[in-house]
Structures are given as C-alpha cells and as structure tokens.
A and B are shown apart, each in its own frame.
Chain A
Amino acid sequence: MSTSSKARMTGPFSDESGIGFETWKNEKNWRAHGQPTCCRAAHSRLSLRPYHLFHLPSTTIDVQTTSDDCTLRRYLEQDLSPIMSAATSTKGAGAGAGASTRAAYRLPTLSAEANKNVLSLLRLIIIFLIAGAAVSSRLFAVVRHESIIHEFDPWFNFRATKVLTTDGFYRFWNWFDATAWYPLGRAAGGTAYPGLMVTSGAIYNLFHSLNIPVDIRNICVLLAPAFSGLTAWATYMFTAAMKDDAAGLLAAAFIGIAPGYISRSVAGSYDNEAIAIFLLMMTFYLWIKALKDGSALWGVATALFYFYMVAAWGGYVFITNMIPLHVLVLILMGRFSSRLYVSYSSFYAVGTLASMQVPFVGFQPVRTSEHMAALGVFGLLQLVAFVELVRSHVPSKQFKLLLVGFVVLVATLAFGALVALTYAGYVAPWTGRFYSLWDTAYAKKHIPIIASVSEHQPPAWPAFFFDLEMLIFLFPVGVFLLFKELRDEHVFVIIYAVMASYFAGVMVRLMLTLTPVVCVSAAIAMSTLLQTYLDPKEPTPLEGRADADDDSVAKSTRSTTRKAAEVASTPKENTVAGSDSEISRPASPVFGASSFSSSKFGVFGLDSRFFVTIYSLLLLLVFVLHCTFVTSTAYSSPSVVLASRNADGSQHIIDDFREAYYWLRQNTASDAKVMSWWDYGYQISGMADRPTLVDNNTWNNTHIATVGKAMCSSEEKSYPILRKHDVDYVLIIFGGLLGFSGDDINKYLWMIRIAQGVWPDEVREADYFTPRGEYKIDDGASKTMKDSLLYKMSYYRFNDLFGGRPGMDRVRQTQGPTKSPELEYLDEAFTSENWIVRIYEVKKPDALGRDLPGVKGFEGGKRRKRAFALPATKGK
C-alpha cells in the first residue's frame, strides 16, 4: 500500500514518481472505496450486512463521500489518467512489456487543471443546450397556433392563478368559488393543490417587481417548458448520484425530449404535472443525497421539496410510498445503517408535519391508508435503531436473537393494530382512485366516473414504444446493471422501476411517472455501453503468458481477439499467479470500462469500437428524430382549436369552441347558469365566465348524475330538473357534421351509466340500445334514445343542412334520423359554425299556466311569443 498512499499524496497525474498502471488501479480502488484496502477488513466489522449473500464489501457505506466537484474529478481520473500515463510513459505502447500502456488510440494530453476546466465547461454547455432543447421542443403549439391554455383542467388552474394575482394570496387561500357547482359552490382554496398557482404567482410578482410587465397568461402558458429545463437538471443530478456525470448528462438529454413527459408539459399545458415531475426528481435526488451522507440537513431539504410536491400534485402519494418502501427493502436486505435512520427520520418528521399544512391534504397523513406505509416504516426504524443500540452494549448471542425477535413481534403487533384500526374505521381505507390501481376492475364496477376518463385506461404496448422509443429497450438493461452493483441508492431506482412499470401498465396517465426512471435507467445502460467502447485502453495479456502473447500483440487486432478467447478460458491461473493484482482489484463489480480494464477482457482494436459507437450514435439520433416527430404531430395540438389541412396544404382552423363560449360570454346575463357535461365545466367558467352546474373537479358524483339524468331523460322529465337547478342554457358538443369524435353522443353511455348508478329505477342502460343490443342513432334507435334530451338536442334541425333528407353523421358513419326531432321545452339559442357546439335556452314556464308543449301547439310552430311581459333579459 505504500505506492498507493504515495500516489494519493502526489496526485494521480504526476508521472515523476514513475507510477504505472498498477498504482493507478490502487488509486482508483482507494477512491472507489473511500479508504485504503488495508483498512477494509477492520472496517467491515462495523457493518451488519450478510456478505455471503450479496458478496458486497462495505462500499455502500463509503462510496461517493466526496462532493459533486470531486465526483467530476474522480470521473476524470478514472477515464483519463491511464491514457495520459500511457501517452507519457517512457515504456510506450510498442514495447509490449508494459501491457498497461497499450491504447487503441491516443487522446490529447492536458494538465489536470485544464482537464477539469474543460470538463466543467463542457458540462455547463451541455446542460444549457439540453434545457434549450427541452424548452424549444415544447413550443410547437404556441408557434403554430397561439399562446393559449390547452385542455380542460388547466383552465381552472389559470382562473385560480388570476384570482391569486389580482386579489392577493389570502383571498386566494380562502377563495369560495360560488360560480362552480352552481347550487353548491366550491371552496376552491381548500380543494385545490395550490403549488402551481403560487409558483406562477411568484414568478409573476418577480417579473413585475423587475418592471417586466408580462401577462399572467403568458407565464401560465410557458411555465411547463421552463420547468422541463429544471427537470432535466434535476434528472442529471439524480443520475449523476447513481453513476457518474456522463450518465447524468445522457439522462438529462433523454428526459428533456422524451415524449412521455412532453405529452404533459407542452407550452399551454398549465397542469399540476408541469412542475410536479421536477419536484419528484428533486425530492428523489435530495433523498438519495441525504441517505448517502446520513445528513439530517439534506433530509430536511428532502422534506421541504416533498412539501412543495404535496402542495403541487396529488401524485405526491407516490413519493410517500416510494421512500418508505426503499427504507423497508434496505432493512430487509440487512443494510440498516445509522445514516438510514438519520435521513429517513428527519425526512418523515418534518415532511409529514409540513404536508399537513396544505388544506386539501389536512389530516390525511395520519388518517388514511395511503400514508400508513410511511408511518409504519418510521416506527419500524425507531425499533431497529433502538435494538442496534442495545445490541452494541450486550455481548450475548442469544440475547441478540431475542432482540431480533422483539423487533419482529412489535412490528407484527403494530401491523395488526393498523389493520384493526382500518377495520374499526379510525383509519380511512384506500380511496377508489388508488384502490383501482390494485383491483383494476374495481372502478368499472363501482365508480364509473373514474373509469370514464380516457387516461385511466390501461395502455397498449405501442403506447410504450410511442412515448419512449428505444429507451424502453435500454430500460431493463439499465436495471440489470444497477442490480450488478447494487448500492443503497441503486435499490431505490430498482424499486422505482418496478413500481412505476406496474402503475404505467395499469393506467396510461401514469406513464408520466415511469418516464423519469426509464430515462435514468436507459442513460446508465447507454453510458456504460459507450464508456466500454470509447475507452481506448486495450485489454492486458496475462503476465504468465506474456511471452506467448507478445507476438500476437504485435499482430493485427483481429487475431488478438481470438487469442483473448483462449486466454479467457484459463481464468484460474491468473488469480493464483497475480496475487498482488488480486488485492488491488476492486472487490465489487464496478460499472463499465473500469470493471473490464484491469483484466484480460475488453475491446480489441478500433473497428469494433467504431461500429458499436456509430451504431449507438445512430440510435440516439433516431431517438431525437422520433421525439421531435411525436411531439410535433401528436402532442402539440391545443384541443381548444381544431386544426385541419386543406387540399393545398394550408391550415384550416376550426374554432367553434371559442366561438360558442364567447357568444355565451357576450350575449347572456352574467349570472346565467349553463348546464353541460362535466368535461366542459372548466372551459365554460374559464372562457365564457358563466356559472356551471358541474365541472372537471368531480367531487360530487350525485350532482354529476343529476346532469346525466337530465341529459338522458325525456323532455318532460328533464324540464323539472332543469328548472329546479335554475338552468338557463344547456350546452352540448355535437361532432356529427364535422367528424369530431369526442362529442357528447359518444360520451352518452357514460352519462347513462353514471345516472344509472344513482337512479337505477329511472335510468336503465339497456333502454338505450336496440333490441339486438346495438347503439344506434338512426331510425333504428330505441324509443328511449329518440326521446332523450341529448339526442334531440344533437340532431335538432340536422336534416335542414341536407335539404330535408336524413343527414349523414360522420362520426357514427350512419344516417341521422329521417324525421328531425322536435323540441318543446327548449329553444335553440346558438349553434356554432361547424355545429360542434350547440347551445339551447331553457324556456320559461308559460305565463298563462299552460304546459309548454301545449303552448307550442297553440302557436302552430311559430316560436316567437315575446309580446308578453316576460323578463326578456336574455338578449339574443
């Protein structure tokens, strides 16, 4: 070890002392294990892991003790120092005796400082370029169309952000939205995750304090791209903690453009996921850091980011269960350490208390089953730590066994108590939304409103290839490589990979949480491959066979490859002969090039290096092309405006939604209640600024079922419902003329099912099918279907467009009804240009007390009867 310590003092880059490759190996070994090899025996006595099971030295305790700056330095030493020593060595490559000096190609030699500077400059440039790519690939929708909020949910977030910026934080915190869920209202401040709004509000205030008067809409639109850059950085940090900077940069590049993440974070997608993935990766990174150092400070930092995550997204439950699961698995693997105790305890104590400050979360962390895993692991950790303390004071072997039995007993008792409390009702069981992840048939049977959302369906295989392209192939390879080394933090990624894969397999929407771990894992696989094949070091022939190999070394590389196969068949000789090198070899398998470099295995010659490198590069380039293509074609449409192409290639914009919403906004009373299916609730209140009955926050199933019942009942039955809820206008979406498939007739069955769940006697799904069980809309439709309000509203005057002949429904690909339906309780108020949005006005009761069909008959088809002194405030 004398040379090793000497090398440590003089530094790995100095060649004056004549340090050869062996010294470098010692040096690297020392670096990797955090201390000299001779100390390892004494050190391992302190750790409690079963070595015979995992064949792992105590590296998990000591690895990565250096700061990030030193990580870079170590990386640099690992990869460049042997080459440089090879380049400057007096023995040279041609001699063949100094086998360590052989290299496939030469690298330019730089001083240590220059190397370090160049590397950090490159790293900085790469990170900024990745952030730039991440931002710019999300701007397709803004560049093509306009800077506008997309989809449905973001419209509520946008409206809430406007409340925050105009009325101030405290008004937002206590905001009661009287216009939503009309008769009931919604305490929006306490039923929303405020993290997103507060973030953009803070950015808004920052810009305005700097006299940069940016509209809040632009901040909301561009928030997701901005945070995707931060996500790339956080993923870089996370992956760098797993392997090295090279893998980190690859992971950052992957997640910067992976369509699985872009799909939820394009410009204009102002949803919780926009900042949540950044917070997820940041929390995980800080957790890994806290665990590595055993630092309470970083544990508290983890807790603070966890708090931010809780405030931002309901998916925080994923973190709440991932970190305890990691801790539990580490304990079960026999890897309990004081660092585990310190990091997890500080995280849990602060994080739980902090998460309870979010009004929407409230007492859930102590009352619901989703959070009980974290509490249970916290308790278990206290027990294990206490027993470890007692064990250090007590020598008896039987007594140790007793202590372990004590832990198992108390843990079992606590688990039993938890089960008992859950059954007794003190702890709330899993909510349906989470329960449906385990029992995948649960939602469809019991809660149709969860099953009705398209992104709650399980994905098909093509969805994985579409969203992740080649990363999905590299993903298992990366997990395998992590298994090979299996440090404490690697266990985390493995658990994350397994859990996220399962959840993504159950629900399309959770592809979002899978994407980061796929990027991390694929980056580890790809960087291992590249490092193995870019490493210029040639494999070392055996010492004992040096004379036999001398000739073949001088020969062409192809013959050397064949020789290597022969040599590989006699591994025993090597281990016996080279006892010196046996000591200095890293005892644990290390990633990539370094694990092969010291042995006879490796890559010979330039041609194999060249082919593999070019092929990997090609894969990466195709990945970029695929991501750009998918982002451009699939994920960058604003859904508020529908774009189509004319025959000459020019763009044709269908803007019916905004046309209708603006009609509502400008031509109706400001307190006119609009009834629509819940999908459009947020958009109506956001764009039309009118009170709605139900919206996308589906907190009251009965109220939604009421709307569903009104839609699927006959006019006579619906009218009292509409009157009781003060409905002035009914808004429906009809895509039959244009072929817009997401219209209300296609969602009709879900309305019926949800209404049937509440009123099984009055609404029956079977009534809406033909006797043969078909769902038809033409003349063969069932009588209930033809009488229902939504059907009548959809096809009202549809035939007029076709000159009185039955119209062609381009979504259902059948003819519409031959005889146009007649409406007696409603008036058509507005129909948009392409008939996508149709708005009907609910008639007031007759002033003479007659029923409305009678009035209509009396008028003989002429609807105008405004001579009466009716409150004709609805300017049409």
Chain B
Amino acid sequence: ASTSSSASAQSPLSTLYSSYVDSTPKKLKVIDAFLVFLMLSGIIQFVYCALITNFPFNSFIAGFASTVGQFVLAASLRIQANPENGQTFPKVSPERIELIG
C-alpha cells in the first residue's frame, strides 16, 4: 500500500526503505514477515471468494476473519514490543519487550 502513496516522489520511498531496514530490530522484522504472509493469505482468500464462489459463506468468513484477526493481533504485538512505544504502554512488562524487541 505504500507504493500508492509515494507515486509522486521516488526518493521518499527509498528513504523509507533504507530507514526501515536500518532502524528496525530483527525480531520486529520477523513479525513483519508474518504480517505480510497473513496479508497475502487474506488477499488470496478474498480473491477466491470474489472470483469463484462464496458458497459456504461461513467458511469464507471463518478463514478470512481469522486471517484479519491474527493480523491485527500480531500488529498489536509488534506495536507493544516496539521499544519506541515503551512509554505509550505503561502496563506492558519489560519481559515482553525483551522477548521480542
């Protein structure tokens, strides 16, 4: 989704990329990879539903919603474990940040 926002300028995109690669801890990158996987999985399911059939609609909802739910929960973990957000989350134990960040 970042490509659409940076259609006008090329240099900010490379800045973004290099900044991300440089400043993100490795464990957060692992979460990010998982997030990308979940997003791809959700997109495939949605495309299947849109193009072929939504017949067992509850099955589609189950698969798609669990992908979305897992995505937001993993994203929440990423936010909480991000050392930059330490002050935003007073209740998050340092153990969790140690574990991930």
Interfacial chain A residues near B16, Cβ < 8 Å = 390, 393-394
Nearest residue, chain A, Cβ from B90: A65
Complex contacts, B9 vs chain A, CB 8 Å: 396, 398-399, 402
**A341 touching B76 in the complex, CB below 8 Å, given contacts A349-B65, A390-B16:** yes
Could you tell me if A349 and B73 are in contact, using CB atoms closer than 8 angstroms? yes
In the complex, B72 has a CB within 8 A of chain A? yes
- The reply to whether B72 and A294 form a contact with Cβ atoms under 8 Å apart is no
Q: A65-B90, A338-B89, A346-B73 are in contact. Are A392 and B84 (CB under 8 A)?
A: yes
A373 and B47 CA atoms in complex are apart in Å by 24
Chain A residues 350-392 with CB under 8 Å of chain B are 350, 352-353, 356, 363, 366, 382, 385-387, 390, 392
CA distance A395 to B5 in the complex (A): 15
CB atoms of A385 and B15 under 8 A apart = no
Once A390-B2, A393-B16 are accepted as A-B contacts, the answer to whether A349 and B90 lie under 8 Å apart by CB is no
A345 CA / B68 CA spacing, docked (Å): 10
Say yes or no: A339 contacts B88, CB within 8 Å. yes
Please give, as numbers and ranges, the residues of chain A lying within 8 Å of B57 by CB-CB distance: 363
User: Which of A46, A295, A342, A393 is the one whose CB lies under 8 Å from B20?
Assistant: A393
Contact in complex: B65, A386 (CB < 8 Å): no
Contacts of B5 in A (CB 8 A): 387, 390, 402-403, 406
List, in ascending order, chain A residues with CB within 8 A of B91's CB.
Answer: 65, 293-295
Q: In the complex, are the beta carbons of A385 and B75 less than 8 A apart? A: yes
Query: Which residues of chain B are near A387, meaning CB under 8 Å?
Result: 5
Chain B window 85-101, contacts with chain A (Cβ cutoff 8 Å), 1 for yes, 0 for no? 10111111000000000
**Complex-state Cα separation, A498 to B27, whole angstroms:** 45
Please indicate which of the listed interface residues A46, A346, A349, A395 has the most CB atoms of chain B within 10 Å of its own CB: A349
**Would you call B30 an interface residue if the criterion is a C-beta within 8 Å of the partner chain's C-beta atoms?**
no
A514 located at the interface, meaning its Cβ lies under 8 Å from any Cβ of chain B in the complex: no
- Asked whether, in the complex, the Cβ of A349 is within 8 Å of the Cβ of B87, the reply is no
- Cβ 8 A contact of A293, one of B2, B61, B73, B89: B89
- Residues 232-264 of chain A: 1 if any B CB is under 8 Å from the residue's CB, otherwise 0? 000000000000000000000000000000000
State whether the Cβ of B19 lies closer than 8 Å to any Cβ in chain A: yes
- Once A363-B61, A399-B9, A403-B5 are accepted as A-B contacts, the answer to whether A353 and B88 lie under 8 Å apart by CB is no
A844 interfacial by beta-carbon distance below 8 Å: no
Given contacts A61-B88, A337-B88, A396-B12, contact A402 B6 (CB under 8 A): yes
Q: Which A residues lie within 8 Å of B65 (CB)?
A: 349, 352-353
Expressed in whole angstroms, the minimum distance between the Cβ of B15 and any Cβ of chain A is: 6
In the docked arrangement, what's the CA distance between A34 and B68, Å? 34
Chain B residue nearest to A347 (CB atoms) is B72
Which chain B residues (40-89) contact chain A, with CB distance < 8 Å? 57-58, 61, 65-66, 68-69, 72-73, 75-77, 79-80, 84-85, 87-89
Interface status of A145 (Cβ within 8 A of chain B): no
Over the window 16-39 of chain B, the binary record of Cβ atoms lying under 8 Å from chain A Cβ atoms (1 yes, 0 no) is 100110010000000000000000
Docked pose: A390 CA to B6 CA in angstroms: 11
Q: Which residues of A contact B92 (CB under 8 A)?
A: 294
Known: A293-B91, A296-B76, A346-B76. A393 touches B19 (CB 8 A): yes
Q: State whether A394 touches B4 (Cβ < 8 A).
A: no
> Which chain B positions have C-beta within 8 A of A293?
89-91
> B15–A46 contact, CB under 8 A?
no
Expressed in whole angstroms, the Cα–Cα distance for A338 and B57 within the complex equals 33
Most buried by B among A337, A350, A393: A393
Asked if A43 is at the interface of the complex by the 8 Å CB criterion, the answer is: yes
Q: Which of A337, A345, A363 counts the most chain B CB atoms within 10 A?
A: A345
B90 close to A350 (CB less than 8 A): no
Selected contact of A406 from candidates B4, B23, B58, B90, CB within 8 Å: B4
Residue A62 is within 8 A (CB to CB) of chain B in the complex: yes
Once the chains bind, are B85 and A393 in contact (CB under 8 Å)? no
Bound Cα distance from A386 to B3, whole angstroms: 13
Give the CA-CA distance A394 to B13 in the complex, in Å.
9
A352–B69 Cα distance when bound, in Å, is 10
Report whether over half of chain B's contact residues are helix, strand or loop; otherwise say mixed: helix
A345 touches B72 (CB 8 A): yes
Q: How far does the Cβ of B83 sit from chain A's closest Cβ, in whole Å?
A: 12
Nearest-neighbor residue (CB-CB) of A349 within chain B: B69
A339 touches B89 (CB 8 A): yes
Q: Please, how many angstroms separate the alpha-carbon atoms of A169 and B23 in the complex?
A: 55
A395 and B15 contact, CB distance less than 8 A:
yes
Task: Give the residues in chain B near A366, CB-CB below 8 Å.
Answer: 61
> Who on chain B is nearest to A388 by CB?
B79
Contact in complex: B61, A294 (CB < 8 Å): no
B contact residues around A296 at 8 Å (CB): 73, 76-77, 80
Inter-chain contacts of B84 with A (CB < 8 A): 392
B79 with A338: CB separation less than 8 A: yes
- Give the Cβ gap from A515 to chain B, nearest Cβ, in Å: 32
| Bound: A390/B2 CA distance, A | 8
Chain A's nearest CB lies how many Å from the CB of B2?
A: 6
Inter-chain CA distance A402–B10, complex, in Å, is 13
Shortest C-beta distance, B87 to chain A (Å), equals 6
Complex Cα gap A449–B20 (Å): 60
Interface string of A321-345 (1 = CB under 8 A from B): 0000000000000000111011001
Give a binary string over A398-409; 1 marks a CB under 8 Å from any B CB, 0 the rest: 110011001000
User: Restricting to A675-703, which residues have a CB under 8 Å from any CB of B?
Assistant: none
Closest to B79 in A: A338
Contacts of A338 in B (CB 8 A): 79-80, 85, 88-89
Most chain B C-beta atoms within 10 Å of own C-beta, residue among A43, A295, A363, A390: A390
Task: Find chain A residues with CB under 8 A from B61 CB.
Answer: 353, 356, 363, 366
Of chain A, the residue at the smallest CB distance from B15 is A394
Residues in chain A near residue B58, CB distance under 8 A: 363
The chain B residue with its CB closest to the CB of A406 is B5
Measured CB to CB, the closest approach of chain A to B53, in angstroms, equals: 15
Residues of chain B within 8 A of A43, CB atoms compared: 87
Q: What residues on B are CB-neighbors of A393 within 8 Å?
A: 15-16, 19-20, 23
List the B side residues contacting A352 at CB < 8 Å.
65
| Chain A residue with Cβ nearest B78 | A389
Asked, given contacts A294-B80, A356-B61, A399-B12, whether A346 binds B72 with beta carbons under 8 Å apart, the answer is yes
CA distance A339 to B58 in the complex (A): 31
State A65–B91 Cα separation when bound (angstroms).
7
Q: In angstroms, how far is the closest chain B Cβ from the Cβ of A824?
A: 55
Q: Which residues of chain A are within 8 angstroms of B77 by Cβ–Cβ distance?
A: 296
The answer to whether A342 and B69 have CB atoms under 8 Å apart is no
Cα distance A342–B76 in the bound complex, in angstroms: 5
Min distance, Cβ B58 to any Cβ of chain A, angstroms = 8
- Return the chain A residue nearest B24 by Cβ: A393
Asked, given contacts A346-B76, A394-B19, whether A34 binds B90 with beta carbons under 8 Å apart, the answer is: yes
**A353:B79 contact, CB within 8 angstroms:** no
Task: Give the residue name and chain of the A residue nearest to B80 (CB).
Answer: A342
User: In the assembled complex, which residues on chain A have CB atoms less than 8 Å from the CB atom of B2?
Assistant: 386, 390
Least CB separation from A298: chain B residue: B91
With the chains together, A426 CA to B68 CA distance in Å?
A: 21
Q: Is the CB of B69 within 8 A of A350?
A: yes
A61 with B15: CB separation less than 8 A? no
A-B contact pairs, 26 of them (CB 8 A): A46-B88, A61-B87, A62-B90, A293-B89, A293-B90, A294-B88, A295-B91, A296-B73, A338-B79, A339-B88, A341-B75, A346-B76, A349-B65, A349-B68, A349-B73, A350-B69, A353-B66, A363-B61, A386-B2, A390-B16, A393-B16, A394-B12, A394-B16, A396-B12, A399-B6, A402-B8
Q: Which 9 A-B pairs have the closest CB atoms?
A: A349-B69, A345-B72, A393-B19, A65-B90, A406-B5, A342-B76, A293-B91, A338-B79, A399-B12
Add 16 more A-B contacts to A338-B88, A393-B20 (CB < 8 A). Answer: A46-B88, A61-B88, A62-B90, A294-B92, A296-B73, A296-B77, A339-B88, A339-B89, A345-B72, A356-B61, A390-B5, A394-B16, A394-B19, A402-B5, A402-B9, A403-B5
